[in-house]
Structure 1
Amino acid sequence: MAKRNVIWTRTADIQFVGILEYWVKRNKSNTYSKKLVKLVSERTKQIADEPLIYKATDFKDVRLASMGNFSIYYKVADNEITITAFWDNRQNPKKLLEILENKK
């Protein structure tokens, strides 16, 4: 199967950047954020190569790739993977529910 392009929604991109900025401010260093960028990059490449290896969710066509304290929610199409949410699992899950329900 051909490798798919990975596209981030505006919502997922804002979430990811917000988390990176939070950790830079909190740690007064960008070391952790750089590590997180590398981990996310590796995981999205893995998702593009083998999109069905991660867990399906209760939301139509949405799958979940966990990474410890973070989760990547995505949809699989023939030629692309759409990242719909990048979530810090320590946040209020009701906020995530609102995001996923609006992305049907």
Structure 2
Amino acid sequence: MAQRKVIWTKTADIQFIGILEYWVNRNKSNTYSKKLISLVSQKTKLIAESPYIYKLTDYKDIRVASLENFSLYYSVTEKHIIIYAFWDNRQDPRKLLKILESKG
């Protein structure tokens, strides 16, 4: 089977960029943000190759893959992986529910 293309929703993209910027400002260095970019790249590649290895959530057809303090919420189509949220697990989960209910 061909590898699926990974598509980030606008919401997930904004979340990811916001988290990267937060860590650059907090640490006065981009070292952790670079590490996080690498981890996310590795995780999205793995998801694209084997999209069903992570568990389903309570939301229809949405799966979750965790990495450190963060989670990627995504769904699988025949040709794509759609990432709906890049979530910092220390945030208020009610915000995440709104995102998943609207699917990005």
TM above 0.5, one fold?
Answer: yes
Partner of 1:59: 59
Partner of 2:5: 5
Q: How does 1:29-48 map to 2 (within 5 A)?
A: 29-48=29-48
Partner of 1:26: 26
Root-mean-square deviation (CA, aligned residues, Å) is 0.9
Q: Structure 1, unaligned stretches of length 5 or more?
A: none
CA distance in 1, matches of 2:98, 2:43: 24
| Aligned structure 1 segments of 4 or more residues deviating by more than 6 angstroms | none
What SS class does the counterpart of residue 52 from structure 2 fall into?
helix
Identical pairs, percent:
69
Question: How far did 1:103 drift?
Answer: 1.1
Question: How far did 1:2 drift?
Answer: 1.0
Letter in structure 1 aligned against 2:19: I
Q: Structure 2, unaligned stretches of length 5 or more?
A: none
CA distance in 1, matches of 2:101, 2:36: 26
CA distance in 2, matches of 1:48, 1:89: 22
Q: TM-score, with normalisation over the residues of structure 2? A: 0.98
What SS class does the counterpart of residue 91 from structure 1 fall into?
coil
Instruction: Kindly tell me the number of residue pairs found equivalent between the two proteins.
Output: 104
Partner of 2:77: 77
Q: TM-score, with normalisation over the residues of structure 1? A: 0.98
Question: How far did 1:82 drift?
Answer: 0.3
Question: How far did 1:102 drift?
Answer: 0.9
